[in-house]
Amino acid sequence: MSERIRDEIVLKLDRVTKRFGGLAAVDDVSFGVKRGEIYGLIGPNGAGKTTIFNLITGVYSITEGEISFLGKTIGRGPLVYRGEKPEKAKLLQLKPYEVMSRGMARTFQNIRLFKSETVFNNVLTACHAGADYSIFGALWRWTKGPKWLTKYRRQEAELKEKTEKLLDIMGILEYKDMLAVNLPYGQQRKLEIARALAQDPQFLLLDEPAAGMNPEETIALMELIREVRDRFDLTVLIIEHHMDLIMNVSDRIFVLNFGKPLAEGTPAEIQKNHEVIEAYLGKEDEL
């Protein structure tokens, strides 16, 4: 395909299983996302798509298998598969913020903004990795003087500049003093993406970004995702129910059904796959 997709595997799931009690929400799922790719994750409701997101971002612990990001393991269950047979492994469970600070960012299926804060502060809060002044550093705010005295002013100015730039890119700069909760629905989605981008991610996870949008808005969003990917050189993992959007925007698609992997391939391949069609539309009656 095009040159923006490189062979380096950014995110790799290695036979990952997650059980809630007796139910396997995610069952033996493996896939790798290449750098620069837009990777689609689809499946009927309850297939375990959001559970995979929560496993990657460290919200849930893994029951079996291993997840690695940028060549480093970020999550490992008590059992892994190196060969055919499962073997015991040392449990590894990073805290969500540790996972995210390695270069990931995500949005949520049901928008989760800092509701009663302004649009500006929503994005500013996510920029904080760029400032390292201490608690006491926040107390002296000299505008001139040696570096350690002006640290607060300098870093805050940098964060604010970055925030304005991001809001401008997403086209919501005019709303910056509004409370996030008062934004129209479509703009809230954009704000959530802006907040995710504020973390300088290399890898962006989008959980049903087009949920509740009309067809025009969905097309606009598709363009936006492409544009953002090119501008920030991102790798994107996207969950979506709008088939138009996912078939158009993805480079490769992974299909889940009842937690189990069903198929993987380019949009064209997936559209022809009988098993996928069955999972979505049901089996044809044999006469």
Could you list the residues that contact another protein (CB under 8 A)?
Answer: 57, 59, 95-97, 100-101, 105-106, 108, 112-117, 121, 124-126, 128-129, 131, 133, 135, 138-139, 141, 152, 156, 159, 171, 174-175, 177-178, 182-184, 186-187, 195, 198-199, 216-217, 220
| Closest CB 126 distance from another protein, rounded Å | 4
- Token pair listed for 24: 């396997």
How far, rounded to the nearest angstrom, does the alpha carbon of residue 16 sit from its chain's CA centroid?
A: 18
* Strand (E) or helix (H) holding 64: strand 64-69
Could you tell me if 155 and 132 are in contact, meaning their C-beta atoms sit under 8 angstroms apart? yes
Place of tokens 């499962």: 86
Minimum CB separation of residue 217 from another protein in Å reads 7
Please identify, using beta-carbon distances, which residue of 83 and 184 lies nearer to another protein.
184
The DSSP annotation for 74-106 comes to: EEE-SEEESSSSEEE---EE--HHHHHTTTEEE
Distances in Å between the alpha carbon of 166 and those of 80, 102, 176?
40, 20, 11
Cα separation, 26 vs 143, in Å, equals 54
Name the helix (H) or strand (E) containing 149: helix 147-169
Least distance to another protein, CB of residue 136, Å: 9
Comparing CB distances to another protein, the nearer of 7 and 177 is 177
**Straight-line distance from the first to the last Cα atom of the chain, in angstroms, rounded to the nearest whole number:** 42
**Toward another protein, which CB reaches closer, 55 or 276?**
55
Which DSSP letter does residue 263 get?
Answer: E
Least separation in angstroms between CB 61 and another protein: 15
CB of 189 to another protein, least distance (A): 11
Q: Closer CB to another protein, residue 204 or residue 253?
A: 204
3-state secondary structure of 99: helix
Q: Closest distance between another protein and the C-beta of residue 12, in Å?
A: 21
Q: Cα angle vertex 38, ends 34, 40, to 5°? A: 105
- Nearest residue (CB) to another protein, 92 versus 220: 220
Q: Which of 13, 202, 14 is closest to 100 using CA atoms?
A: 202
Determine the Cα angle at 28 with ends 97 and 254, to 5°.
Answer: 80
User: Minimum CB separation from another protein for residue 169, in Å?
Assistant: 15
Residue whose CB is less far from another protein, 220 or 277: 220
Q: Which is nearer to another protein, 135 or 281 (CB)?
A: 135
